Amino acid sequence: MANVWGYWKCPSCGKVLRADKKYCTSCGNPVEKDTRFFPPDPDNAEYVDALQENSVENWICDYCRVQNSSKDLYCGSCGAPRSSDSKRYFDNDDPAMEEEPIRVNPSASNKGKTHGWLRKVILAIVVGICILFGIWFFTPVERDSYVDGFYWERSIAVETYTLCHESDWSVPSGGTVTSTKLEVHHYDKVIDHYETKSKKVPKKVEDGYTITYKDLGNGQFEEIKKPKYKTVYETSYYEEPVYRSVPVKQTKYYYDIGRWKKTDSIDTSGNDKTVYFGECTLETSVSNPNYGDKRQAERTEHYYVLYKDQNNNESKKEYDYSEWQNLKAEDKITYKAFRCA
């Protein structure tokens, strides 16, 4: 880091001078107490000689209000000595140094504020209406339906002991092997070779500097350089394995085995409350069955109530047997549903 010269503008004649000039070369006006230095354009910066570099701010004469270098013990304008109470460059809070605020037309400003307030009110009203409508629309409402009828169905599955021809990698209990065969059980992935491939890899590299200046309060500015970075892409090469599938064979067994298979059912149904299973004389358990033997298997039952709502729309709902038995024609049920349903 290095120091560069700043500049100041003469308040009397407007001439711009380098900060090491303590008096205007045009009108002779000195660097006054409220003079502020400004930094140079980075492309035209003038570096301060190493012997002249100074990081201590200027002090302001208590009598003539002229700025003096921190190295000066006496004011260069009036000769007054520097005191311990003398203000320094950054202590100067004279109101005259504050920038004049930007002024706008009061009527235009008030008009803009009124329009902005009105837009906010309208937006709030619209949002409120949308929220209330959403609450109304999605709040469930109670609806009534009436029992219009009943329906039931029952079924008894009938199974037959059947000779089945199956195959697997092992033989289940009761199976009789009829043949075996060496077959592909699965495939293993093994490396066949490698291929050279490339990819673009991002990398950040320095791409110059951004330069900022820190006001030292004495006409010099500390130059601060921060590196800028950009992303470049470099080609990176790598070896990628290429695999091939190798079949792995095992012995597969083909066998005969007896299985109970559903071949029929005894079904009953009705639209009343008189429920029953169809007549079935088959046993539920058969010891040492022969092919062709039959047995009584799973029993299933379903009970439904038919409804009509206040709009005469029909629906059907399944119940367990005890609930179904307790319902009667014309019974009313109340349920909740969305308005859109």
Please report whether residue 325 resides in a domain: no
Please report whether residue 339 resides in a domain: no
pLDDT given for residue 67 in this prediction: 94
Q: Which residue has the tokens 């379903």?
A: 302
pLDDT tens for the chain, residues 1 to 341: 799 999 999 999 999 999 999 999 999 999 999 999 999 998 899 999 999 999 999 999 999 999 999 999 999 999 999 998 889 999 865 444 443 333 334 344 445 556 678 888 999 999 999 999 888 878 877 778 899 999 999 999 999 999 999 999 999 999 999 999 999 999 999 999 999 999 999 999 999 999 999 999 999 999 999 999 999 999 999 999 999 999 999 999 999 999 999 999 999 999 999 999 999 999 999 999 999 999 999 999 999 999 998 778 888 999 999 999 999 998 888 766 666 65
Please report whether residue 27 resides in a domain: yes
Please report whether residue 55 resides in a domain: yes
Number of folded domains that form the chain: 3
pLDDT given for residue 116 in this prediction: 72
Please report whether residue 321 resides in a domain: no
Contacts of 102 by beta carbon, 8 Å cutoff, 6+ apart: none
Please report whether residue 331 resides in a domain: no
pLDDT given for residue 313 in this prediction: 85
If asked whether residues 239 and 296 sit together in one domain, one would say yes
If asked whether residues 33 and 114 sit together in one domain, one would say no
Q: How far is CA 80 from the centre of its chain?
A: 67
pLDDT given for residue 97 in this prediction: 40
If asked whether residues 254 and 287 sit together in one domain, one would say yes
Distance CA 135, CA 124 (A): 16
Distance CA 101, CA 93 (A): 16
If asked whether residues 274 and 196 sit together in one domain, one would say yes
Please report whether residue 144 resides in a domain: no
pLDDT given for residue 332 in this prediction: 86
Looking at 57, 80, 102, the residue that finishes a domain is 102
pLDDT given for residue 108 in this prediction: 43
10-16's contacts with Cβ under 8 Å and 24+ in sequence apart are 11/35
Distance CA 159, CA 258 (A): 12
If asked whether residues 287 and 176 sit together in one domain, one would say yes
pLDDT given for residue 98 in this prediction: 40
Q: How far is CA 260 from CA 192, 244, 257, 331, in A?
A: 49, 44, 10, 45
pLDDT given for residue 185 in this prediction: 97
Q: How far is CA 228 from CA 11, 39, 45, 203, 307, in A?
A: 38, 21, 20, 13, 76
Distance CA 321, CA 307 (A): 17
If asked whether residues 222 and 260 sit together in one domain, one would say yes
If asked whether residues 41 and 164 sit together in one domain, one would say no
Query: Minimal CA–CA distance to 265: which of 301, 299, 292, 303?
Result: 299
* Structural domain harbouring 66: 1-102
Looking at 139, 166, 187, the residue that finishes a domain is 139
If asked whether residues 166 and 266 sit together in one domain, one would say yes
Q: Measured between alpha carbons, how far apart are the two ends of the chain, in Å? A: 75
If asked whether residues 216 and 293 sit together in one domain, one would say yes
β-sheet bridge partners, residue 159: 262, 295
If asked whether residues 180 and 52 sit together in one domain, one would say no
**Cβ 338 vs Cβ 140: under 8 Å:** yes
Q: What does R_g of the chain's alpha carbons equal in angstroms?
A: 49
Q: How far is CA 201 from the centre of its chain?
A: 26
If asked whether residues 163 and 296 sit together in one domain, one would say yes
If asked whether residues 284 and 165 sit together in one domain, one would say yes
Give the distance between the most distant pair of CA atoms in the chain. 133
Distance CA 94, CA 216 (A): 19
